[in-house]
Amino acid sequence: MRKYSSMLMICLLANVISAHATEDELHQQHVRETFHVEHLELTPQNGDDEDAVFYGANLAWFVNDYFFWGGGAYGAALGKRGGFFIGGFRLGGQMPLGKMGYAEASVLVGGGGGGAAGQGDGLFVRPEISLGYRLSPSWDVEAHAAYIRFTGSQIASPVFGGGLSYHYMRLFGVTGDR
């Protein structure tokens, strides 16, 4: 209980400090939240491939118009491995294609396991390429292809899926010497 009350106090203090920022001290940052549904194959201990459908979400904080960092988390929605999950840190870049499209490359590195799958040491690497189309200033759709590999295990699978993204600008205050 003490842990939660300390976290609440820190959040309240951060809100009070940022509430006093002047307009000159506020900066905007482009943020994108994406919900994904995708197909992959999990290879269990006996070597038979299992089809799985994962659902997940990515959060991307854009450093500039082209590069971003963030995180991602996915879990098994359909298949024999309910409870299997992955999550990690993501870095990537985006290149415009015409007025409404974009191509993107990223890599997600993290850990996961569960669902009685032979995940080895739990560490995975997941490079991804995506093609997206801007539906409106706030909404995108995308198709992606990735490859997930768990070190120390037999899980190594191509991943194909689609996503729906929401964009917004986040305001934050600047701290420093005054």
Domain assignment present for 9: no
Q: Which domain holds residue 150?
A: 27-173
Mean per-residue pLDDT over the chain, rounded:
79
Is residue 178 in a domain? no
Tens of pLDDT, residues 66-75: 999 999 988 8
Q: By the 8 A CB rule, do 79 and 53 touch?
A: yes
How many Cβ atoms from other residues are within 10 Å of residue 164's Cβ?
A: 14
- Taking a C-beta distance cutoff of 8 angstroms, is the pair 106, 93 a contact? yes
Structure confidence at residue 107 (pLDDT): 95
Task: State the average pLDDT over residues 90-115.
Answer: 89
Higher pLDDT, 45 or 49: 49
Q: Does residue 83 form part of some domain?
A: yes
Please indicate, yes or no, if residue 2 is contained in any of the structural domains: no
Q: Is residue 5 part of a domain?
A: no
CB atoms within 10 A of CB 84: 22
- The domain tally of the chain equals 1
For residue 101, tell me if it sits in a domain.
Answer: yes
The average pLDDT across 89-100 equals 94
In a domain, 142, yes or no: yes
Cβ atoms of 73 and 102 within 8 Å: the answer is no
pTM for the whole structure: 0.71
Which one-letter DSSP state was computed for residue 24? G
Q: Each residue of 108-152: pLDDT tens digit?
A: 998 876 665 555 667 888 899 999 999 998 999 999 999 988 777
Residue 96 has pLDDT above 50, yes or no: yes
The predicted pLDDT at position 70 comes to: 93
Q: Is 120 left (phi over 0), alpha (psi -120 to 50) or beta?
A: left
Q: What is the CATH number of the domain that holds 90?
A: 2.40.160.20
Note whether residue 119 is domain-resident: yes
